[in-house]
Amino acid sequence: MRVSVFGAGYVGLVTAACFADVGNHVVCVDVDSEKITLLNQGIVPMHEPGMENLLVTNLNTGRLQFTTDPAVAVQHGEVLFIAVGTPPDEDGSADLQYVLQVAHVIGQLMTETKCVVNKSTVPVGTATAVKNTILRALNERGLDYPVDVVSNPEFLKEGAAIADFMRPDRIVLGTDSPEAIEVMRELYAPFNRNRDRLIVMSVASAELTKYAANAILATKISFMNEMANLADSVGADIEQVRLGIGSDPRIGFDFLYAGCGYGGSCFPKDVKALRHTFQAFGGEAKILQAVENVNQQQHHRLFDKIKKFYGEDLTGRCFALWGLAFKPNTDDMREAPSRTLLSLLWAAGARVQAYDPKAMSEARRIYGQRADFKLCDSPHAALDKADALIIMTEWKVFRSPDFSAIKNQLKQAVIFDGRNLYDPKRMKARGFRYFGIGRGE
Ligand code: UGA
The domain total for the chain is: 2
Report the percent of the chain where pLDDT is more than 90: 95
CATH code: domain of residue 390: 3.40.50.720
- Longest CA pairwise span in the chain (Å): 78
Which amino acid residue places its CA nearest to atom 6 of ligand 1?
Answer: 155
Identify the pLDDT of residue 94.
Answer: 86
* CA neighbours closer than 13 Å in the CB half-sphere of residue 182: 3
Q: Is the ipTM of this complex over 0.90?
A: yes
Are both 249 and 173 inside the same structural domain? no
Q: How confident is the model over 5-33, as pLDDT tens digits?
A: 999 999 999 999 999 999 999 999 999 99
Q: How many residues belong to the chain? A: 441
Tell me, yes or no, whether 145 lies in a domain.
yes
Which amino acid residue places its CA nearest to atom 25 of ligand 1?
Answer: 262
Q: How confident is the model over 43-72, as pLDDT tens digits?
A: 999 999 999 999 999 999 999 999 999 999
Tell me, yes or no, whether 99 lies in a domain.
yes
Reported as a pLDDT band with limits 50, 70 and 90, residue 89 is: confident
Which amino acid residue places its CA nearest to atom 1 of ligand 1?
Answer: 157
Tell me, yes or no, whether 351 lies in a domain.
yes
Last residue of a domain, one of 199, 232, 267: 199
263 lines ligand 1 (CB under 6 A): yes
Are both 109 and 254 inside the same structural domain? no
Identify the pLDDT of residue 441.
Answer: 74
Which amino acid residue places its CA nearest to atom 23 of ligand 1?
Answer: 262
Residue 60 CA to ligand 1 centre (angstroms) = 33
Are both 186 and 254 inside the same structural domain? no
- Is 266 marked active-site? yes
End-to-end CA distance of the chain: 58
Q: Which domain holds residue 404?
A: 215-435
Identify the pLDDT of residue 87.
Answer: 87
Are both 97 and 57 inside the same structural domain? yes
Tell me, yes or no, whether 207 lies in a domain.
no
Residue 440: pLDDT over 90? no
Are both 16 and 105 inside the same structural domain? yes
Last residue of a domain, one of 199, 233, 249: 199
268 lines ligand 1 (CB under 6 A): no
Residue 266 CA to ligand 1 centre (angstroms) = 7
Tell me, yes or no, whether 208 lies in a domain.
no
Binding site residue list:
30, 35, 86, 121, 155-158, 210, 255-259, 263, 269, 327, 334
Strands annotated E in 184-236: 198-201
Residue 5 and residue 26 in contact, taking contact as beta carbons nearer than 8 Å: yes
Are both 146 and 114 inside the same structural domain? yes
Tell me, yes or no, whether 205 lies in a domain.
no
Q: Indicate the pTM of the whole model.
A: 0.94
Last residue of a domain, one of 168, 199, 230: 199
Averaged pLDDT score across all residues of the chain: 96
Are both 237 and 380 inside the same structural domain? yes
Catalytic residue among 115, 260, 266, 318: 266
Q: Which atom of ligand 1 is nearest to the CA of 161?
A: 15
Phi and psi torsions of 172, nearest 5°: -90, 130
